[in-house]
Amino acid sequence: MSSELLPSLQPSFVLRGHSAQVHAVHFVQGNTRLLTGDADGWVVSWSLAFKRPVANISYSLQLLFIWTSSHGRDSKLAVWQLRPEDEEVVGQTLPIDKPSTNGPQPWLLHMLTVNTLNFCSFTMCLDGLPQPYPPQSAINAKKHPPPILIAVPNTIDSGGIDVYQLPSESRAAVIHADRNTTTGMVMALAIQAESTRLQVVAGYESGHTMVFVQSDPGAQFQRLYSAQPHSQPILSVRILPTRDCYVTSAADAIIAKHPLPAVQGVWKTELKPFKVVQTKHSGQQGLQVRSDGKVFATAGWDARIRVYSSKTIKEVAVLKWHKIGCYTTAFAEILDHDSIKTEDDIAVKEEEIEEEARPDKSIAYQSSAISTVQQKRDMKAQSTHWLAAGSKDGKVSLWDIY
**pLDDT tens profile 179-188:** 889 999 999 9
The reported pLDDT for the residue numbered 224 is 93
Confidence of residue 73 (pLDDT cuts 50, 70, 90): low
The reported pLDDT for the residue numbered 1 is 46
Check whether 143 has a pLDDT greater than 70. no
Ordered DSSP codes for 39-81: TTSEEEEEETTTTEEEEEEES--S---SSEEEE-TTSEEEEEE
Q: Which 3-state string (H, E, C) describes 195-261?
A: CCEEEEEEEECCCCEEEEEECCCCCCCEEEEEECCCCCCEEEEEECCCCCEEEEEECCCEEEEEECC
Confidence of residue 48 (pLDDT cuts 50, 70, 90): very high
Higher pLDDT residue, 102 or 28?
28
Confidence of residue 161 (pLDDT cuts 50, 70, 90): very high
What is the three-class DSSP state of 298? strand
Q: Give this prediction's pTM.
A: 0.85
The reported pLDDT for the residue numbered 381 is 85
Q: How far apart are CA 164 and CA 185, in angstroms?
A: 19
Check whether 229 has a pLDDT greater than 60. yes
Please report, as a single letter, which amino acid is at residue 284.
Q
Please report, as a single letter, which amino acid is at residue 125.
C
- Per mean pLDDT, which range of 50-59, 148-157, 248-257 is the poorest? 50-59
The whole-number average pLDDT for the span 128-134 is 60
The reported pLDDT for the residue numbered 132 is 55
Distances (CA, A) of 336 to 35, 291, 292, 351, 384: 22, 11, 11, 26, 12
Please report, as a single letter, which amino acid is at residue 157.
D
β-pairing verdict for 222-227 and 209-214: antiparallel
Check whether 324 has a pLDDT greater than 90. yes
Q: How far apart are CA 88 and CA 117, in angstroms?
A: 36
Residues with Cβ within 8 Å of 96's Cβ and at least 6 positions away in sequence, in order, are 16, 17, 18, 19, 394
Q: Classify residue 394 by its DSSP letter.
A: S
Mutual orientation of helices 362-383 and 343-355 as an angle, nearest 10°?
Answer: 170
The reported pLDDT for the residue numbered 377 is 79
The reported pLDDT for the residue numbered 118 is 76
pLDDT tens, position by position, 197-219? 999 999 999 999 999 999 888 88
Contact call for residues 379 and 341 (beta carbons, < 8 A): yes
The whole-number average pLDDT for the span 269-289 is 93
Rg (CA), the chain: 22
Residues with Cβ within 8 Å of 304's Cβ and at least 6 positions away in sequence, in order, are 281, 318, 319, 320, 326
Check whether 388 has a pLDDT greater than 80. yes
Mean pLDDT over each residue of the chain, to the nearest integer: 83
The percent of residues in the chain predicted with pLDDT above 70, rounded, is 79
The reported pLDDT for the residue numbered 32 is 93
Q: What is the length of the chain? A: 402
The reported pLDDT for the residue numbered 83 is 84
Check whether 116 has a pLDDT greater than 80. no
Check whether 93 has a pLDDT greater than 80. yes
Contact call for residues 394 and 21 (beta carbons, < 8 A): yes
Which runs of E-coded beta strand occur in 326-372? 326-331
Distances (CA, A) of 44 to 66, 285, 376: 14, 22, 23
The reported pLDDT for the residue numbered 135 is 47
Check whether 284 has a pLDDT greater than 80. yes
Contact call for residues 389 and 396 (beta carbons, < 8 A): yes
Higher pLDDT residue, 108 or 189?
189
Confidence of residue 394 (pLDDT cuts 50, 70, 90): very high
The reported pLDDT for the residue numbered 341 is 59
Which run of H or E residues covers position 15? strand 13-16
Closest CA to 149 of 204, 106, 209, 190: 190
The whole-number average pLDDT for the span 249-270 is 80
The reported pLDDT for the residue numbered 317 is 95
The reported pLDDT for the residue numbered 58 is 76
Contact call for residues 276 and 256 (beta carbons, < 8 A): yes
Higher pLDDT residue, 361 or 38?
38
Q: How far apart are CA 226 and CA 347, in angstroms?
A: 56
Q: Is the peptide bond before 7 cis (omega within 30 degrees of 0)?
A: no
